[in-house]
Structure 1
Amino acid sequence: MLAHAAAGPAGDLGSRASDPAVRGGWTFGEGRLVGVNTVATAVHERRFDGDSSADAAATRSGSTFRPDIEGLRAVAVVAVVLFHAGVPGLDGGYVGVDIFFVVSGFLITGMLWRDVSTTGTVGLARFYGARARRLLPVAGLVLVVTAFVSALLLPPLQARDVLGDEIASALYVGNYRFALHGTDYLAADAPPSPFQHYWSLGVEEQFYLLWPGLIVGAAVLVRHLARRRGTAATASAMPYVLVLALVAAASFAVSLAWTDTLPPWAFFSLPSRAWELAAGGLVALSAPGWRRLPSTVAAVVGWAGLALLVLACTRLGETTPYPGTAALLPVLGTVLVIGSGCAASRLGVGRGLSLSPIRAVGRVSYSWYLWHWPVLLLVPALLGHSLDLSGRLGAVALSAGLAVLTLHLVENPVRFAARLRDSASRSLALGAAVTAVAVCTGLVLLVARPVPVGHGAAAADLTVTAASPVATPSVDPHDAEVQQLTAQVQTAVTQSAATPEVPSNLSPSLADAPADKPGVFVNGCVRSWLEVGQSECVSGEPASTTTVALVGDSHAAMWDPALESAAEQRHWRLETMGKVTCPLLDLPITSPYLGREYTECEQWRGQILERLQAERPQLIVLSMSRRYGGDFGFTMYGPAWLDSLTRVVARLRATGAAVLVLGPVPDPHSTVPTCLSAHLDDATACSPPRPVAVNAAGVAAEAAATAAGGGQYADLTDLFCTADRCPVIVGRNLVFRDDNHLTLEHALALTPVVTALAERALATH
C-alpha cells in the first residue's frame, strides 16, 4: 500500500524528504521516499447546473441552492491548503480531495438525473459547455502563468520536465503521467511538480466525459427493458442507483487492490477513485430518503459526518496506505454531511457551514486551490531559500489574494457572461481555445528553454591503467594494486574538483542522465517492491568455476556494470541479486512506499540467503544504500545496523565464500543533472563538501563491524572525494544519474579498481 500519498511539499523544491515541509511529488529514492498526496479541487458548482450566482435561491430546474455545500468546499480547501503548508496537526489534510470528489459526484449526478428523468436524455452540449465555462478559463490561466514562472525560475532540466507536466495537465491526463513516474523506482527523488495538483482535475474531467454516457446508457437500458415488458418507462431512480452501486463496488475493489500493489495508480487514477464520485451520486439519487430523516436524527448524522472529517484530517498521515480503506473515513463523513443537509434541521451542521465567512471561502476555493500549490513551490525558488512555517503561511495568504482576484476578474465574468451562457457552442469553443493556448505555451517554452549542454573545454576520459607490480615482499601485492589504482582515480578527482565548467563532452549528457541505468534495472534482475524470488541473472562466463555474487539493493545493482566487465575480463561467473530498498541485513523493515511491513523484502532476503548457501559462490559482494531513515524502522550506522552487518557477514562467510562489503558513495544532496543544468559555469556549486557527503565515522564503524564478521570492507571515499570536496564530474564522466545512483559510464570507468578489490577478496578465499 501507499506510504502515504500525501500532498506536495510546502517548502523549497530541493528540500530533503526529512524536511517536515516536504509532502510532495512521488519521490522515491533508495532509503527515502516521500509519497505525495497532492490533492486537487473537485470544482463543483454553486448550483447543480453550474450557472447560478452564489445567492440564487433556485435553479431553472427547480433545485434549491445548498449553501452548506459551499461551506463544505471551504472545509475541503482549507484542509488541503494548510496541509500543504505543513501546519502541525493536519497530517491528514489531504483528504480534502475526497471531500471534493464526493461533492462533485453528488452535484453532477443530481443534475444529470434531473435531465434524464424529465427529458429521457442528457443535454450533452449544454452540460459540457457549462463545464468548459466553469473550469477551463481559470485552470488555463494558472497553467500559463505557472509555466512561464517555472521556465524562468527553475533549473533548465527541471523546467523542461515541468513543462511536460504542464502540457499533460492542460490535456487533463496529468494524473496518468504522475502515476507512471510514481511506479518508476529510478525516477526517484525528483522534486515535485508545480502542476502535480492538477492530477485530480484530470480525474474530474475524465469523470465528466464518462458519467453522462453512463447515465444515458442506463436510461436507454431502462427504456429497452420497459419496451420488452410492454410497459411505460418510469422515472424511478432505482436503476441508476443499481448502476452506480456496481460502479462504486468495482472501483472500490480496484482501489483496494491497487493500494496494495500499485500505490501510485491507486492514488492518481479514475478507476480507483470513481467510487468516491459514485458515493456522492448515490446520495443525490437517494435524496428523497434523506429528506425524510427527522430533524434531530439529521442533525446527529451531519455532526457525526463532520466529526469523521476532522478525525480523518488529524489522525491519518503520510504513513497511511491511501486511498484503500482509509478513504472510507472522509468519504463516509462527506456523505453524512451532504445527506443530512437534504433534511432541514435547525441544529444541523449545515447551519454552521452556511455562515457567510465560510461560504466566502467556499466561493474562492477553486481558484485558491489552483494558485496555492505553485505559489508554495515557486516562492522558495524566487527567494533562493526554503520557507519556514510563517513563510509558508505567507505564501498561502498570497495565493488566497490571487484567488480572490481571479474569482472577480476571470472566473465569475466568464462563467456568467450572457453570450457564453446562452450558447453551448461558444462555451465549448472557449474551452478548446483555452486548452490550445495552454498546450502551445508549454510547447513554445520547451523550444525557448533548450536542453542544457555544458560549454566548458572537452575533458579527457577517466582512464585507469594497470598497476605496476610490487617487488617488496612486505607489501601485499593486492593491497598495493588497490592503492595504486585508487591513487590514479584520486588524481583525476582532484583535477576535476578544480575545474568549474561543465565539459562540452559530458557523458552521459545532462538530458540523457535520467535514462542512464544498467540493464539489471529493466530485465528483472533487480526485483521491484512487490516482487520476490530471483531469476537467474548471470553474466561474465556462465560456465566458470569461479562464481561471484553481487547482492543488495539498488546501490548494489549500480555496481553491476563494473563487476560484469570484471567478470568478462577475469572469466568469472557473475550472479546479480537485487531488490529495491531492501538491504540484505536482517533488520525488521517497513516500506514507506507500501505503507506497511515490508514482508516482500524479508521473504526475498530469506530466499537469497538460502540460494547463496546452496550455490556456495567463491565471493559475495554486498552493497546497499546508506540513505535509509527512521521511516524504514531503523537508522543508518546505528547499533542495530552495525550488529546486523556483522551477523550477515558472518553468515555469508559460513557458506565458505569470501565477503566484500562496498562502502557508500558520497551523498550529493541534490539531483545532480538538474543542479548542473543551472550551474553550467560552476559545477562546484553542485559538489558537496566531503564532511557533508560522507559520514566518516559511520564508514569506520562499518569497517570494524565487517571485520568482526570475517569480511573485507572497501572504503570508496577516495574514489570520489578530495580531502575537501566530492566533485560530481570526474574527467568527462557525470558521476550521478540522479541524487544517489552512479551513472553507468562512471561505474564502468571504475572497473579496474572494482576488479582489484574483488581479486583481493578472492585471494583470502
Structure 2
Amino acid sequence: MTARQLDTKGGPGDREPRTSATAFRPDIEGLRAVAVVAVVLCHAGIPGIAGGFIGVDVFFVISGFLITGMLWREVTTTTTVRLGRFYGARARRLLPAAAAVGVATAIGSAVVLPPLQARSIFVDGIASALYVGNYRFANQGTDYLASDLPPSPFQHYWSLGVEEQFYLVWPALIIATAWLARRAGRPVGSNPSPQRAPYVVVLGLIGAASLATAIIWTRTSPPWAFFSLPTRAWELAAGGLVALSVQQWRRLPLLPAAIAGWGGLVLILLTSTQLGPNTPYPSTAALLPVLGTALVIGAGCVTGSLGAGRLLCRPIMRAVGRVSYSWYLWHWPVLLLLPPLLGSPAGLPSRLAATIVSAGLAVLTMYLVENPGRFATALRRSAKASLALAGAASAAIASVCVLLLIVIPVPRGHGVAAQAANMVTLPPTNPTADPRHDPVPSAFAQVRAAVAASAGPRAVPSNLKPSLAEAPADKAAVFVNGCMRSFRQVLHELGHDGCVSGDTASPTTVALIGDSHAAMWDPALQRIAEQRHWRLQTLAKVTCPMQDLPIDSPYLGRHYTECEQWRGQIIAHLRAEPPRLVVLSMSRRYRPDFSFASYDPAWIETLSRTVTLLHSIGSDVLVLGPVADPQMPVPNCLSAHLDDATACAAPRSAAADSGGIAAEQAATTAGGGHYADLTDLFCTPDRCPVIVGDTLVFRDDNHLTTEYAQLLAPAIGALVDGALSDQ
C-alpha cells in the first residue's frame, strides 16, 4: 500500500487498511504532532497541560519502533547492518537542524543573557554538541520543572543526547543478538523465515532492567532518572517490541485494533493533562504514555487511516508532525530568550508569542536546513559525506561556543577598589552588666552604617570578594563535608561527630539546626564559637525546615519522608544531649507545592510549637529571621551591570516580608524563644544592596557568601550572647 493510499480518510468501503512492515506511516507523523504540541504547550506554561513533558516519551517510543524495525529488517535480510549508511542517515536527519539551532542559541545567549550565565550556557552547548549534555544536566542536578535557578537554553538537547546514545548502542545490540542467534543455530537470514524471539528476549530483558533502574533512580537520584539513557532505554525498547510484533498486531480484527488505537491516544492526552511537575518521573508514571504510544503504533499496523488514524492522518496533523523536530529544537531557547530580548516579562502573552515565533522558525528551518540536508542527493549517495556532515555540524556548535567563551571573558569588577566593611568584634555580654549597654544595638548600628554606605550608585569594585566567577562555588565547608544532609541522607547514615567545630571539649554546646539557610550561617557561628570557646554543632538538611510540617518535595516529586525522619532524629539527639542554645534558621522560600508555604498559618503555628518543644528540653532558642530576598541570581545580575551594582538591589518592600517577620516574632516569643529580625543587616529603609564594602552578599539567588556571613559574625554573636544571657 502506498503512502498516498494511506493518506486517505477511510470510509465504509475501506476493507484493507493493514500496513506493510516497511510502509510509510502517516499516523506516526500525526502522532509526532501530538507529542510536540504537548511538549511546547507544557513548557509555555499553558494551563491544563502540565504533563505535556510526556511528549518526549512519545518520541522515544516512536524512535524505538522505527529504528528497531529498520535494523531488524536489515540484519535478517543481509545478516549485518551497514553502519556507515545507518549513521549517515541519522546524521542527515538530525544534525543540520540541531547545529543551526544550537549556533543560534549560543549567539542569542551571548547577546541577551548576563555574561556569567551565558558562559555557563556555552559549556552546555559544547556538551550538547558532543551528545553528553544529558549527563551534564544530570550531574548538575538540573530539573527545569522545579529549579529556582535559570534553566539553560540548551537543556532540551538532553533528549537528543539520549537519542544519539541510543543510535550508538542499538545497532551493536541487534548485531550481537544476530551473532548469538547464529551461534545457537537459529535462522537469521530471510530464508528460512527469520526468528524474532531472540530479539524479543533481549529487548525485553533490557527494557525490564531499564524500567527497574528508572523506578529506583526516580526515588534516589531524580535528575539521573530523568536525563540518562539507562533509565529511558525501556521506552525505546517498548517501541522496539512493537516493531518486532507487527505480525501479531496485523492479525487483530479491525474493531479491536481501532479501540486500542483510540484508547492509546486518549491515554497520551490524559497523561498530558493529569501529570504535573510534582509527579515522580519517569518511574511508573511513564508507563502510561509509553503504553498509550505503543497502542497507537501497534493498532495503526491494522487500522492505517481508520481508528485513531482518522485524526492523526489529517493534513494539519501531518504538517505539524513534519515540522515537529525543528519546532522542538526552537521552542525552548525562544521561550527563554525572547522575553529578555524584548524587555518584556515572561508572562503568558510573551510565552504564547514565543511559541508562535518558534513555530515560524521551525518551518523555515525545515525547508532551508532540515530537508536540504536530509534529502540532498550527494549526501544520500555517500555515507562518508553524510558522516562528514555530522562531524561538521557538531564542530559548528562546539566551535561557536568555544569562540564565545574566548570573546566573552570572565566578568570582573572594574570599579574603584572598595574598603572592607570591618565590624568591631564586641566582647560577650556580661549577664550582670547594665542592660542599657546591650551590644546588639551597637553591633547592628555598625552593619547599618556599612549597608547605607554601600547603597548608592557604584561600579562593581575590582577587589570584590568573592569575585563574580568564584561566587557560585563559594560554599561553606558544611555544604560539602556531609554536615548538610542531601535529600536522601538522614542523621544516622553519616553520624554527627564530624559536624562539630569550635572548642570541641567545651561544656557549652550551641546547635545550629535547619535547612541550607542554617548551614550558610555556619561560618559566622564558627567564628563566634572559637572566640567564646563554645562547642558548635551544625545539623542541617536540604529544603527541610525544622517545623513539624508534612512536606512534599517538588525536587523529588514525592512525599519527603527523609525530612520527617531527620526531624525526629534531631529531636531525639537533642533530648539525649541538650545543648545550651539552639539556633534555628530556615529558608522562607517554601511554596504551596511543598504542601505548605512560608508565613502561612501552618508555618507560624508549627514554628511556635517547635520553639516550645526545644525550650522544654532545657535549651534556649534563637530563631534567625530571613535574609533579604535578592529576587534574582546576584552574580549573574552583577555581571550584566558592572558599572552600576544598584541595578541588582531589590527594594526593601520586595526583599523582606515585614508582616511575616512580625508573625514569626510573635510566635517565637509565645514559645519561649528569642527572635532576631535580620532585615537591617541587609537593607536600608529603601533598598537592599548586594555588595557591602568589598564583600558580595549573595552567591546565588538566596544564599549568603561565606565572606558576608563571616562579616556579620559580630552582630550574630551579639544576638547569641543576648539569647544566652536573658534567663
TM bin (shorter chain)? over 0.9
1:119-138 matched pairs, under 5 angstroms: 119-138=78-97
Q: Distance in 1 between matches of 2:435 and 2:118?
A: 52
Mapped contact 1:106–1:280 kept (Cα < 8 A): yes
What's the secondary structure of 1:659's corresponding residue?
A: strand
Task: Quote the residue 2:461 is aligned against.
Answer: 503
Partner AA of 2:244 in structure 1: L
Q: CA deviation at 1:394?
A: 2.1
Contact 1:107-1:284 at 8 Å conserved across structures: yes
SS in 2 for 1:343: helix
- Following superposition of structure 1 onto structure 2, how do residues 242-391 of structure 1 map, counting pairs within 5 Å? 242-344=201-303, 347-391=306-350
Relative to structure 1, the CA distance from residue 346 to residue 576 in structure 2 (aligned partners, 3 Å threshold; closer, same or farther) is: closer
Match of 1:85 in 2: 44
CA distance in 2, matches of 1:305, 1:62: 20
SS at match of 1:497: coil
Partner of 1:624: 586
Q: Is the Cα contact below 8 Å between 2:604 and 2:663 reproduced in 1?
A: yes
Q: Tell me if structure 2 keeps the 8 A contact 1:689–1:724.
A: yes
C-alpha separation in 1, matches of 2:414 and 2:605? 48
Q: Indicate conservation of the 8 Å contact 2:21/2:246, yes or no.
A: no
Tell me what 1:225 maps to. 184
Indicate which of 157, 172, 182 corresponds to 2:141: 182
Is 1:422 matched up with 2:422? no
Alignment of 1:307-706 (within 5 A): 307-344=266-303, 347-467=306-426, 475-476=434-435, 480-533=438-491, 534-536=495-497, 537-706=499-668
Question: Aligned equivalents of 1:233 and 1:457: distance in 2?
Answer: 83
Deviations 1:676-730 (A, max 9, x none): 1111111111111111111112112211111111111111111111111111100
Opposite residue 716 of structure 2, the aligned amino acid is: V
Deviations 1:361-383 (A, max 9, x none): 11111111111111111110111
The C-alpha deviation readout for 1:463-508, integer Å capped at 9, x for no partner, is 111348999999416x621111111111110000014211010000
Q: Counterparts of 1:63-212 in structure 2 under 5 Å?
A: 63-182=22-141, 189-212=148-171
Contact 2:147–2:555, Cα closer than 8 Å, also in 1? no
Aligned pair 1:761/2:723, yes or no?
yes
Distance 1:750 1:316 in 2: 45
Q: What amino acid does structure 1 have at the position aligned with 2:469?
A: A
Q: 1:409 to 1:487 in 2, by over 3 A?
A: same
Aligned partners of 1:77, 1:632: CA distance in 2, in Å?
30
Tell me the residue number matched to 2:681. 719
Identical counterparts, % of pairs: 64
The answer for the alignment partner of 2:194 in structure 1 is 235
Aligned mates of 1:217, 1:470 — CA distance in 2? 76
Larger CA deviation: 232-241 vs 116-125:
232-241
* CA–CA distance in structure 2, aligned partners of residues 251 and 301 of structure 1: 25
- Which residue is 1:8 aligned to? none
Question: Could you say what secondary structure the match of 2:232 adopts?
Answer: helix
Q: Does residue 1:749 correspond to 2:711, yes or no?
A: yes
Quick one: distance in 2 between partners of 1:94 and 1:687? 35
1:42-62 Cα shifts (integer Å, max 9, x gaps): xxxx99xxxxxx99xxxxx98
Q: Separation in 2 of the partners of 1:352 and 1:547?
A: 70
**Can you list the C-alpha shifts for 1:721-742, whole angstroms capped at 9, x where unaligned?**
1111111100000000001000
Q: Which residue identity lines up with residue 122 of structure 1 in the other structure?
A: V
Cα distance in 2 for residues equivalent to 1:549 and 1:105: 54
Structure 1 pair 397–595 and aligned structure 2 pair: CA distance change class (3 A)? same
- Please give the secondary structure, in 2, of the residue aligned with 1:293: coil
Q: Residue 334 of structure 2 contacts residue 354 of structure 2 at CA under 8 Å; is this kept in 1?
A: yes
In the TM superposition, residue 352 of structure 1 has moved relative to its aligned partner by 2.2
Between the aligned partners of 1:470 and 1:423, the Cα distance in structure 2 is 83
Cα displacement (A) at 1:144: 0.5
Q: Distance in 1 between matches of 2:152 and 2:290?
A: 27
**What one-letter code is carried by the residue in structure 1 that aligns with 2:676?**
A
Whether contact under 8 Å (2:264, 2:292) holds in the other structure is: yes
C-alpha change, 1:761 and 1:303, in structure 2 (3 Å) is: same
- 1:755–1:132 Cα change, 3 Å: same
Aligned to 2:16: none
Match of 2:12 in 1: none
Deviation at residue 310 of structure 1 after TM alignment: 1.1
Per-residue deviation at 1:254? 0.4
**Separation (CA, whole Å) in 2 of partners of 1:115 and 1:702:** 70
Question: SS where residue 169 of structure 1 aligns?
Answer: helix
CA RMSD of aligned residues (A): 2.2
Change (3 A) 1:653 1:440: same
Counterpart CA distance in 1 for 2:295 and 2:431 is 84
Greater shift after overlay, 330-339 or 389-398?
389-398
C-alpha distance 350-710 of structure 1, shift in aligned 2 (>3 A): same
Structure 2 gaps of 5+ residues are 9-19
Structure 2 partner of 1:14: none
Cα deviation code 1:111-149 (max 9, x no counterpart): 000011001111101000101111111100100111111
Which stretch of the first structure deviates more once superposed, 299-308 or 80-89?
80-89
**Other structure's SS at 2:302 match:** coil
For the 8 Å contact 1:189–1:671, the answer to whether it is kept is no
Q: Does the 8 Å contact 2:88/2:387 carry over to 1?
A: yes
* 2:303 partner SS: coil
Answer yes or no: is the 8 Å Cα contact 1:295–1:345 preserved in 2.
Answer: no
Cα deviations across residues 381-440 of structure 1 (Å, max 9, x unaligned)? 111122433332222111111111111111111111111101101100111011112111
Deviation at residue 639 of structure 1 after TM alignment = 2.3
Farther off after superposition, 548-557 or 526-535: 526-535
Counterpart-to-counterpart distance in 1, 2:52 and 2:521: 41
Structure 1: stretches of 5+ with no match in the other structure: 1-45, 48-53, 56-60
CA gap of 1:390–1:492, structure 2 versus 1, over 3 A, is closer
Please tell me whether the aligned partners of residues 299 and 345 of structure 1 are also in contact (alpha carbons under 8 angstroms): no
> Is the CA contact 2:33–2:320 (under 8 Å) kept in the aligned structure 1?
yes
Name the CA distance, whole Å, in 1 between partners of 2:534 and 2:707. Answer: 21
Q: CA deviation at 1:630?
A: 0.9
Cα distance per residue 1:580-604 (max 9 Å; x no partner) = 1111111121111122221111111
**Cα distance, 1:638 vs structure 2:** 2.4
Aligned counterparts of 2:186 and 2:328: Cα–Cα separation in 1: 48
TM-score relative to the length of structure 1: 0.89
TM-score normalised by L of structure 2: 0.94
After TM superposition, give the deviation of residue 184 of structure 1 in Å.
Answer: 10
Q: 8 Å contact 2:428–2:532 — kept in the other structure?
A: no
